[in-house]
Amino acid sequence: MGILLVAVTLTGCQSAVYSTYEKFGVYKRDLLKKRVIAARDEEKAAGEQFKDALTRLRELYGSQNTDLEKTYDKLKSEHDDATSRAVAVRKRVTDMETVAKDLFSEWEKEIEQISSSTMRSSSREQLRQTRDRYEDMHSALKRAEKSMDPVLIKLRDHVLYLKHNLNAQAIASLKGESVAIQNDIARLIEDMNQSIQQADAFIKQMETAK
């Protein structure tokens, strides 16, 4: 009963948010576009942060660094920032999912109110195409989002290990793992770039459909 009450309350709050936006001429379609842009931009920022972390790893393992503690501090900072960016990406994607779900639900209900069978059929086809494009873009975003956790875990392992082993021998012992995590980060950045391209395409299609 308590969970149901919370769900109803949240639904009511979300409806109030939509109503407020609509008073200013901003509808769910506009909000979805804004949320997709926000998710895309957050992924771009996260991608840059992971690139920075990759740079720090290469600095740490790729040269005879005499100031290991300083390099460690930089790597830890990059890990912390990347973790924060990953949290922000998840929030942006969740916000986007909420608006998309509500938009498609509203669209389906409103189609049933159209008396013309021709117009109803046309609107249904537009909904199908838009939903298909959204799902392609959403899947790409989720793949990139899912790829972040394994990379962050490995990056954290390096940070914690190095914290207690700031010496040349420890660095040498981790070189094999370093290559693996660098490859993981490179693949993650590639996934992010693909999802960003999908988001750009979806945004362009929404603008063209106006």
For the chain, which residues make up each domain, given as ranges? 29-208
Better-scored residue on pLDDT, 167 or 124: 124
Q: pLDDT tens-digit profile of 52-88?
A: 887 777 776 665 555 667 777 878 888 888 888 888 8
Q: Comparing C-alpha atoms, which of 120, 123, 129, 141 is closest to residue 37?
A: 141
Q: Is the pLDDT of residue 2 over 50?
A: no
Q: Are 26 and 150 in contact (CB under 8 A)?
A: no
Residue 175: predicted pLDDT: 61
Residue 5: predicted pLDDT: 34
Quickly count: other Cβ atoms within 10 Å of residue 16's Cβ.
10
Residue 115: predicted pLDDT: 94
Q: Comparing C-alpha atoms, which of 44, 89, 84 is closest to residue 192?
A: 44
Quickly count: other Cβ atoms within 10 Å of residue 82's Cβ.
26
Residue 121: predicted pLDDT: 95
Q: Is the pLDDT of residue 102 over 90?
A: yes
Residue 52: predicted pLDDT: 84
Q: CA–CA separation, 45 vs 151, rounded Å? A: 16
Over range 93-104, report the average pLDDT. 92
Q: Which range scores top for mean pLDDT: 82-96, 109-123, 137-151, 174-188?
A: 109-123
Q: Is 144 exposed, middle or buried (0-12, 13-18, 19+ CB in 10 A)?
A: buried
Residue 140: predicted pLDDT: 86
Q: CA–CA separation, 56 vs 69, rounded Å? A: 12
Better-scored residue on pLDDT, 122 or 56: 122
Q: CA–CA separation, 197 vs 52, rounded Å? A: 21
Over range 176-191, report the average pLDDT. 75
Quickly count: other Cβ atoms within 10 Å of residue 85's Cβ.
21
Over range 151-162, report the average pLDDT. 82
Q: Are 144 and 195 in contact (CB under 8 A)?
A: yes
Of the ranges 48-57, 82-91, 124-133, which one carries the lowest mean pLDDT score? 48-57
Fill in the amino acid letter for 84: S
The mean predicted confidence, pLDDT, of the chain is: 80
pTM value is: 0.73
Q: CA–CA separation, 110 vs 154, rounded Å? A: 48
